[in-house]
């Protein structure tokens, strides 16, 4: 029973264009959502987060959108750069538990 | 600033041996998490501590797995005896205690049990 799902295993985008990574969740009690980026042989690196009281959070080239009614969030990267090529994980947590539930990840390739 | 430090980075050992993985969290972080990543199950939480106290160990797969946090700057995850199906990448993460605190990960220990 996967509570956090990333249905696209991979995504390929041209440099300079927008990358959109999607994530769906099933648990309506989740109230904090995060995106992590992971390079091979390294740990996940925190990118950006959003709490359920917001529907958008922006940090430089990265924007996360949250649609609570659809139980859907997305990460927009614009403009995409070759260095953005990595595996992206979305994660969710409930209340103050500190427990993160991760999606399976989406591999992003940004082509020069 | 030093991030989360894990050791060893790689461990290869034979089935039945005891394995100990180590983690030093970021200074000032009072929550510590142990995760396991496999192809089949992805990233899954094993156990986490707040202020050195284990809060939830429901993700620990079997009694062969145990974790300790004797002080705020050190934690261990032990597998005894180890089995080939324990082969995975084990990550440690830390965060500040409180609402909506992002977790910061170490670079993991790649464990291979032969």
Residues A95-108 pLDDT 10s = 777 789 999 999 99
Question: What gap in Å lies between CA B43 and CA A44, rounded to an integer?
Answer: 10
Residues A72-90 pLDDT 10s = 999 999 999 999 999 999 9
| Angstroms from A72 CA to nearest CA on chain B | 19
On whether the CB atoms of residues A92 and A32 are closer than 8 A, the answer is: yes
Interchain contact, A96 vs B99, CB within 8 Å: yes
Backbone torsions φ then ψ of A28, nearest 5 degrees: -70, -10
| Angstroms from A33 CA to nearest CA on chain B | 9
On whether the CB atoms of residues B46 and B38 are closer than 8 A, the answer is: no
Interchain contact, B105 vs A102, CB within 8 Å: no
What's the pLDDT score for residue B23? 98
Residues A30-74 pLDDT 10s = 999 999 999 999 999 999 999 999 999 999 999 999 999 999 999
What's the pLDDT score for residue B3? 94
Question: What gap in Å lies between CA B54 and CA B49, rounded to an integer?
Answer: 4
Mutate: best of A6, A32, A98, partner B, most B CBs <10 A = A98
* DSSP-derived secondary structure for A38-88: E-TTS--EEEEEEETT-SEEEETTEEEEEETTTTEEEEEESS--GGG-EEE
Chain B neighbors of A99, CB-CB under 8 A? 45, 48, 56
Chain B neighbors of A96, CB-CB under 8 A? 98-99
Mean pLDDT of the region B68-79: 96
What's the pLDDT score for residue B1? 64
What's the pLDDT score for residue A98? 77
| Angstroms from B18 CA to nearest CA on chain A | 24
Residues B5-24 pLDDT 10s = 999 999 999 999 999 999 99
| Angstroms from B29 CA to nearest CA on chain A | 13
- Chain A residue closest in CA terms to B34: A99
Mean pLDDT of the region B76-97: 96
Does residue A1 surpass a pLDDT of 80? no
Residues of B within an 8 Å Cβ radius of A: 4, 31, 33, 42-45, 48, 50, 55-56, 91, 93, 95, 97-108
Residues B25-72 pLDDT 10s = 999 999 999 999 999 899 999 999 999 999 999 999 889 999 999 999
Would you call A42 an interface residue with chain B, using a CB distance cutoff of 8 Å? yes
DSSP H helical segments within A3-51, as ranges? none
């Amino acid at each position: 029973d996967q509570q956090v799902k990333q249905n696209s295993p991979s995504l390929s985008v041209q440099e300079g264009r927008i990358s959109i990574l999607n994530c769906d969740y099933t648990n309506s009690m989740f109230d904090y959502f995060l995106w992590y980026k992971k390079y091979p042989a390294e740990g996940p690196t925190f990118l950006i987060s959003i709490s359920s009281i917001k529907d958008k959070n922006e940090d430089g080239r990265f924007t996360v959108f949250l649609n609570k009614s659809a139980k859907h969030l997305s990460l927009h990267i614009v403009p995409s750069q070759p260095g953005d090529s990595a595996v992206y994980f979305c994660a969710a947590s409930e209340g103050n538990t500190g427990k993160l539930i991760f999606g399976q990840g989406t591999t992003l390739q940004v082509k020069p | 600033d030093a991030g989360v430090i894990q050791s060893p980075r790689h461990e290869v050992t034979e089935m039945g041996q005891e394995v100990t993985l180590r983690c030093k969290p970021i200074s000032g972080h009072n929550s510590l998490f142990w995760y396991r990543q496999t192809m089949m199950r992805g990233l899954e939480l094993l156990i986490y501590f707040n202020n050195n106290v284990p809060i939830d160990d429901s993700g620990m797969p079997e009694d062969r797995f145990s974790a300790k946090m004797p002080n705020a700057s050190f934690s261990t995850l032990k597998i005894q005896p180890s089995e080939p199906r324990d082969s995975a990448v084990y990550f440690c993460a830390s965060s500040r205690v409180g609402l909506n605190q992002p977790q910061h990960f170490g670079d993991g220990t790649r464990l291979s049990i032969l």
